[in-house]
Amino acid sequence: MNSPKILIIDDEPQIRKLLQISLESNDYKVLQAATGKEGLIVSANHPPDLILLDIGLPDKSGHLILKALREWYNQPIIILSVQDNEADIVSALDNGATDYLTKPFRTGELLARIRAAIRKNQNTQNDTVVNAGNLSIDYIARTVKINDEIINLTSTEYSLLALLTKNEGKVLTHQYILKEVWGHSFQSQTQYLRVFIGTLRKKIEDNPNNPKHIITESGIGYRFQ
């Protein structure tokens, strides 16, 4: 099996060197770019399996590079940035980032996020059944089972769960979920979403107060795992 190829777009030589050593020691091939423009050229000429993208680039904002990449690139993009404010994180996720880690980060956590993103991306888009522990979702039959017994979900609850599971491992922002499930006019109704997440957790989680599937990303959104 070919080693996954990862492109690092970051203007800090020390960060690129650290990442290169960590990635190559875990059997990844590494490409590097020090500017947004260079990153776009490298990614186009040598399409990687995943991109690590810094937001604070010297020539163009990483947010603009992310948007430009998402016009054609459909593989995972993980943001690495010193910016940890909610607005930057939400903007990146809304613009197509797969994940977001703030600097300084733990190498072990980054490697785990990379593995999860690549593994998820390698799954076929035509999978009709997803299993997560004792939970099973059949997208064709629109049924959800726990321990092989069908549980009753409303149409909205099913749509919400299907959206989360089809984006397993990815943080979905409040606004994105509301737009996808309820429509553009509901994008500000975060309390509305919170209520539905609560009822859904009661139906699929062993302990709704300590969920293991629908994880809250405080102030940002939700992640299914």
Tokens of 20: 């290169």
pLDDT of residue 124: 47
**Got the DSSP string for 160-189?**
HHHHHHHTTTSEEEHHHHHHHHT-GGGTT-
Find where tokens 């991109």 sit: 51
Helix, strand, coil percentages, rounded to 5, for the chain: 40, 20, 35
Q: pLDDT by residue for the chain (225 residues), tens digit each?
A: 578 999 999 999 999 999 999 999 999 999 999 999 999 999 999 999 999 999 989 998 899 999 899 888 888 999 998 887 888 888 888 888 989 998 888 899 999 999 988 887 766 445 678 888 888 888 878 889 998 899 988 888 988 999 998 888 888 999 889 888 887 777 778 888 999 999 999 999 999 999 999 999 888 899 998
CA neighbor of 26 nearest in space, from 114, 87, 89:
114
* pTM passes above 0.85: no
- Cross-strand partners of 143: 138
Whether the link from the prior residue into 104 is cis, omega within 30° of 0, is yes
Residue 37 to residue 16: CA distance in whole angstroms:
16
Domain ranges of the chain: 5-122, 154-224
Could you tell me if residue 27 is left (phi over 0), alpha (psi between -120 and 50 degrees) or otherwise beta? Answer: left
pLDDT of residue 95: 84
| Structure letter (DSSP) for residue 128 | -
Domain 154-224 class? mainly alpha
The domain at 5-122 falls in which architecture? 3-Layer(aba) Sandwich (3.40)
Residue 33 to residue 159: CA distance in whole angstroms:
40
